[in-house]
């Protein structure tokens, strides 16, 4: 079956098609005039002219270039090239502002044009068909993106941040000149990833960088501080922070980030830390001897006939104990910050440690009832006895500090899936949900009117968390405001015990 023949279009229809097409112009290849033969409505309206005023005129007379633009030279070059090469010439982007009759102002507009040769029977270029397209939106979007990038770049430079982008597939690295500077090289130096890694302190590389890298692949971001060696042998501190970019299959493909030299603030921090360590150490010596004198006096004088003496000695002993605990906490904090907190692991029975700690605390706080309910009589653990004792006593002291005298405090211990879980429950002021997330942070204290008369430093829970973390255990809490709180910690049990437990 034959298809219907295509209808033959009359020259009038072709004329309409041309005149209604977006941005078209036909000029004769009669240089230097380039006589205008036809123009579409859109082309005419862009230039703010009517058809009779341009047809038959030379291109440069018909479309005079507004002052301030020198595109006529370009157009001449383009037309010349079309004739010489008999090939289409594209002008990817140029600016030509359009007069807006409503606002009576020129609007900034960008265009692209294609200039196609039309040849005669002798294969000479007889006409040029100019088609233009409005690309203002694309150009403006690109300008905005460039401006954003520039702003970012300036911000990074102003804050002395170095930026880097590592390809995880071929390990190539792109970075800003500041990175080379931070690593002690002239800014234009090209350094490889291997060279950068070789400058990182080897201990920090093992303990921090490799772990952070593995975490970044899993979690999607990373932040760490390490020491680096500069080529002149000096040591500096850097903080690097960033995120992982994944492909459509969620496979990590790039690591992006910033590097900041934090040597000055780190040195300040180290000095402060050293000061804390030294001051608390110096305070410990006179306190220990004060405690010894109080104990000697207690032995000599108690039981006495004077109840004031009995009471004063008991109170003095309690206060000295409080100060000693506080100084130990500050010492531990400084050791922790400088990475010097060492655990002395040994086997011991945790229920005995819990009851001893309760007994000790009961002496100085007779106003509270502390119940201990172990699930099993004996639970052996392998841990730092003194430090775990400190955690228990911290949690017990908090339970008392944040609840009224006479209320109940319940302690329990239980074996759960290869761990021992200890809990301390009070009936005190409790903690609202917003604060719960931040309680274990260093120096964090809840701020509300209930807390106004309760003193503290906000380091007890932070230390407890760090101690438990170093035992590969967990610490957490549950609470409802005004209804009390339960603090839990769990420690992994030695392997042979955990086998029996399951
Ligand atoms: P400190 O008690 O010295 O302020 P901690 O680190 O021990 O510091 O505790 C941090 C904060 O957590 C406390 O300031 C308090 O607001 C809150 N908190 C701790 N334990 C309890 C508790 N048992 N009940 C209510 N709030 C608590």
**pLDDT tens digit string along 249-297?**
989 999 999 999 999 999 998 888 889 889 988 999 999 999 999 999 9
CA of 394 to the centre of ligand 1 (A): 10
379 CB neighbour count, 10 Å cutoff: 24
Tell whether 178 is covered by a domain: yes
Name the closest-CA residue to atom 11, ligand 1: 445
State the pLDDT at residue 16: 93
Q: Which atom of ligand 1 is nearest to the CA of 426?
A: 23
State the pLDDT at residue 66: 65
State the pLDDT at residue 212: 92
Residues 372 and 415 in one domain: yes
Tell me the pLDDT of the chain (502 aa) as tens digits. 556 677 788 889 999 999 999 999 999 999 889 999 999 999 999 988 999 999 999 999 998 876 655 555 578 889 999 999 999 999 988 888 888 888 988 888 999 999 999 999 988 999 999 999 999 999 999 999 888 888 887 877 777 899 999 999 888 889 999 999 999 999 899 998 899 999 999 999 998 999 999 989 888 999 999 999 999 999 999 999 999 999 999 899 999 999 999 999 999 988 888 898 899 889 999 999 999 999 999 999 888 888 899 889 988 998 998 899 889 888 888 888 877 788 999 999 999 999 999 998 888 788 899 999 899 889 999 999 999 999 999 999 999 999 999 899 999 999 999 999 999 999 999 999 999 989 999 889 998 888 888 888 899 999 999 999 999 999 999 999 999 999 999 999 987 544 444 4
Closest CA to 209 of 251, 166, 160: 166
Tell whether 77 is covered by a domain: yes
Bin 408: left if φ > 0, else alpha if -120 < ψ < 50, else beta: beta
424 Cβ closer than 6 Å to some ligand 1 atom? no
Reading the block at residue 358, the tokens are 């309760």
Reported as half-sphere exposure (CB side, CA atoms, 13 A), residue 346 has a value of 6
Residues whose CB is less than 8 angstroms from the CB of residue 25 and which lie 6 or more positions away in sequence, other chains included: 36, 38, 39, 40, 43, 129, 130, 131, 132
State the pLDDT at residue 68: 56
Tell whether 424 is covered by a domain: yes
Residues 356 and 325 in one domain: no
Tell whether 149 is covered by a domain: no
The backbone torsions φ and ψ at residue 471, rounded to the nearest 5 degrees and listed phi first, read: -90, 10
Dihedral, CA of residue 207, residue 213, residue 218 and residue 220, to nearest 10: 130
Residues 239 and 315 in one domain: no
Single out the residue in 232, 261, 290 at which a domain terminates: 261
Residues 239 and 255 in one domain: yes
Q: Which atom of ligand 1 is nearest to the CA of 484?
A: 24
Q: Quote the number of domains for the chain.
A: 4
CA of 395 to the centre of ligand 1 (A): 9
Residues 307 and 350 in one domain: no
Q: Range of 121's domain?
A: 11-140
Taking only the tens place, the pLDDT of each residue in 367-412 is 899 999 899 889 999 999 999 999 999 999 999 999 999 899 999 9
Residues whose CB is less than 8 angstroms from the CB of residue 455 and which lie 6 or more positions away in sequence, other chains included: none
State the pLDDT at residue 497: 45
CA of 464 to the centre of ligand 1 (A): 12
Q: Assign residue 168 the CATH number of its domain.
A: 3.30.450.20
Residues 209 and 240 in one domain: yes
446 Cβ closer than 6 Å to some ligand 1 atom? yes
- Three-class secondary structure of residue 328 per DSSP: helix
Q: Which atom of ligand 1 is nearest to the CA of 456?
A: 3
Name the closest-CA residue to atom 21, ligand 1: 398
Question: What's the CA gap between 465 and 187, in Å, rounded?
Answer: 42
Element (H, E) at 371: strand 369-374
CB 413 within 8 A of CB 351: yes
Residues 410 and 467 in one domain: yes
428 Cβ closer than 6 Å to some ligand 1 atom? yes
458 Cβ closer than 6 Å to some ligand 1 atom? yes
370 Cβ closer than 6 Å to some ligand 1 atom? no
Residues 326 and 369 in one domain: no
CB 91 within 8 A of CB 84: no
Residues 333 and 412 in one domain: no
Residues 57 and 184 in one domain: no
* pTM beyond 0.75, yes or no: no
- Three-class secondary structure of residue 125 per DSSP: strand
485 Cβ closer than 6 Å to some ligand 1 atom? yes
CB 382 within 8 A of CB 345: yes
Residues 279 and 307 in one domain: yes
Taking only the tens place, the pLDDT of each residue in 160-205 is 899 999 999 888 889 999 999 999 999 899 998 899 999 999 999 9
Name the closest-CA residue to atom 18, ligand 1: 398
388 Cβ closer than 6 Å to some ligand 1 atom? no
Which of 322, 395, 431, 443 to mutate for ligand 1's pocket (most ligand atoms within 8 Å of CB)? 431
Question: What's the CA gap between 147 and 104, in Å, rounded?
Answer: 29
Reading the block at residue 157, the tokens are 């430079």
Residues 421 and 447 in one domain: yes
């Amino acid at each position: 079956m034959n298809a219907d023949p295509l209808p033959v279009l009359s020259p009038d229809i072709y004329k309409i098609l041309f005149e209604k097409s977006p941005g078209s112009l036909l000029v004769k290849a009669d240089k230097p005039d380039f006589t205008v033969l036809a123009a579409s409505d859109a082309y005419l309206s862009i230039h703010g002219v009517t058809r009779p005023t341009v047809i038959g005129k030379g291109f440069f007379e018909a479309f005079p270039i507004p002052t301030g633009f020198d595109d006529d030279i370009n157009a001449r070059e383009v037309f010349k090239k079309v004739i010489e090469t008999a090939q289409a010439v594209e002008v990817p982007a140029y600016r030509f502002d359009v007069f807006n009759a409503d606002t009576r102002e020129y609007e900034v507009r960008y265009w692209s044009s294609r200039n196609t040769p039309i040849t005669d029977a002798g294969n000479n270029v007889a006409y040029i068909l100019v088609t233009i397209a409005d690309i203002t939106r694309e150009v403006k979007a690109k300008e905005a993106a460039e401006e954003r990038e520039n702003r970012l770049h300036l911000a990074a430079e102003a804050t002395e941040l170095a930026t880097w982008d590592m390809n995880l597939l071929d390990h190539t690295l792109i970075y800003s000149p500041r990175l080379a500077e931070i690593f002690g090289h002239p800014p234009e130096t090209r350094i490889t990833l291997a060279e950068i890694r070789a400058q990182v302190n080897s201990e920090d590389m093992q303990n921090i960088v490799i772990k952070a890298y593995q975490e970044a692949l899993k979690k999607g971001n990373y932040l760490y501080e390490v020491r680096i060696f500069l080529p002149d042998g000096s040591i500096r501190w850097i903080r690097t922070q960033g995120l992982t970019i994944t492909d459509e299959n969620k496979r990590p493909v790039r690591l992006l980030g910033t590097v900041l030299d934090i040597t000055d603030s780190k040195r300040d921090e180290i000095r402060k830390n050293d000061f804390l360590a030294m001051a608390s150490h110096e305070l410990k010596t006179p306190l220990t001897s004060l405690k010894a004198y109080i104990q000697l006096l207690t032995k000599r004088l108690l039981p006495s006939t004077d109840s004031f003496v009995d009471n004063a000695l008991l109170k003095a002993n309690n206060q000295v104990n409080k100060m000693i605990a506080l100084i130990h906490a500050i010492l531990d904090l400084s050791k922790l910050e400088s990475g010097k907190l060492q655990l002395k692991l040994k086997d011991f029975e945790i229920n005995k440690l819990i009851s001893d700690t309760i007994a000790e605390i009961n002496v100085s706080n007779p106003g509270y009832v502390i119940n201990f309910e172990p699930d099993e009589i004996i639970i052996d653990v392998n841990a730092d006895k003194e430090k775990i004792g400190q955690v228990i006593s911290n949690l017990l002291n908090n339970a008392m500090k944040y609840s009224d005298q006479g209320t109940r405090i319940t302690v329990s211990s239980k074996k759960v899936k290869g761990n021992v879980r200890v809990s301390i429950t009070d009936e005190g002021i409790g903690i609202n949900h917003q604060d719960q997330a931040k309680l274990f942070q260093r120096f964090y204290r809840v701020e509300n009117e209930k807390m106004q008369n309760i003193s503290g430093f906000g380091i007890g829970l932070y230390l407890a968390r760090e101690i438990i973390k170093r035992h590969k255990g967990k610490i957490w809490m549950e609470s409802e405001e005004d209804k009390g709180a339960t603090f839990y910690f769990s420690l992994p049990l030695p392997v042979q015990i955990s086998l029996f437990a399951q």
